[in-house]
Structure 1
């Protein structure tokens, strides 16, 4: 099991960037935990790879434990996520030499939502991040934009 601390900021997308140099993968994920649980237990299919992930914490820094599972294990657990699923296309590209973006274009009931995430090596780096022009509002601290909330409650409105 891989355990790490994740320092990440999440933004709405103001306009799509040039994605010619980016890579893309189709993702479907579902949540086994209940909406009000303080931890997230997530199943994810990312292309031909399958994962079971446990996330905890709130805000800028969260704990993440992830293991690879087989397609058979994924298929066995997938029915437990009914009503708590999302599908999206993820574009991954470079912002700078040190930073990458992950741009999620949601499908189904969450379309046309687009979110972009950037992972940092430290809180100081995250706080000093110069936001590109194509990024929209910072929604890092808005719980309704966490994938689990999107899977169970749909797209929130910005306050």
Structure 2
């Protein structure tokens, strides 16, 4: 189960590039239901996600590099590329801000996601002051939807 809040970021912290990051490239074989393929550094996955905004089921299956390279050619829409910076959430001993800084077609877009172990914690969450608009419930900034934009 994936439980996360998502925010649009206009002004990330000045030192965000000092944090560890992953290079992510992903494409969508389907958007209803969501079937995604992702390269994260040197790991490769096929992911199924159920419908939902704050909370939804998610299943990840490992892929070989060869399988990923075959499937990425079959992706619908745009291939998304981004760096995901992992920033510990101040005041929390278990939450991490995943700061996605997009490249390519969506260069300039920055989103922050925070994943939670339970729904109640997500609903009580008070974001840091540098977070912008909460876009969790709009769906407008779901990666699967971005991949389909003209």
How far the C-alpha of 1:19 sits from its partner, in A, is 2.1
Q: Which residue of 1 aligns with 2:57?
A: 63
Q: Which residue of 1 aligns with 2:9?
A: 13
1:90 to 84, 87, 99: 84
How far the C-alpha of 1:78 sits from its partner, in A, is 1.2
1:81 to 75, 79, 83: 75
How many angstroms apart in 1 are the aligned matches of 2:34 and 2:63? 17
Q: Which residue of 2 aligns with 1:157?
A: none
Return the TM-score normalized by structure 1: 0.87
1:118 to 114, 120, 125: 114
Contact 1:30 1:44 in 2 (8 A): yes
How far the C-alpha of 1:82 sits from its partner, in A, is 4.8
Contact 2:46 2:61 in 1 (8 A): yes
Runs of at least 4 residues of structure 1 off by over 6 A? none
Q: What pairs with 1:9-158 in structure 2 (closer than 5 Å)?
A: 9-17=5-13, 18-19=15-16, 22-33=19-30, 35=31, 37=32, 39-95=33-89, 96-153=92-149
RMSD (Å) for aligned C-alpha atoms: 1.4
Contact 1:13 1:134 in 2 (8 A): yes
Contact 2:2 2:56 in 1 (8 A): yes
Q: Deviations over 1:118-151 (max 9, x none)?
A: 0011111011112101100000011221000011
How many angstroms apart in 1 are the aligned matches of 2:68 and 2:58? 19
Count of aligned pairs = 147
SS of aligned partner of 2:147:
helix
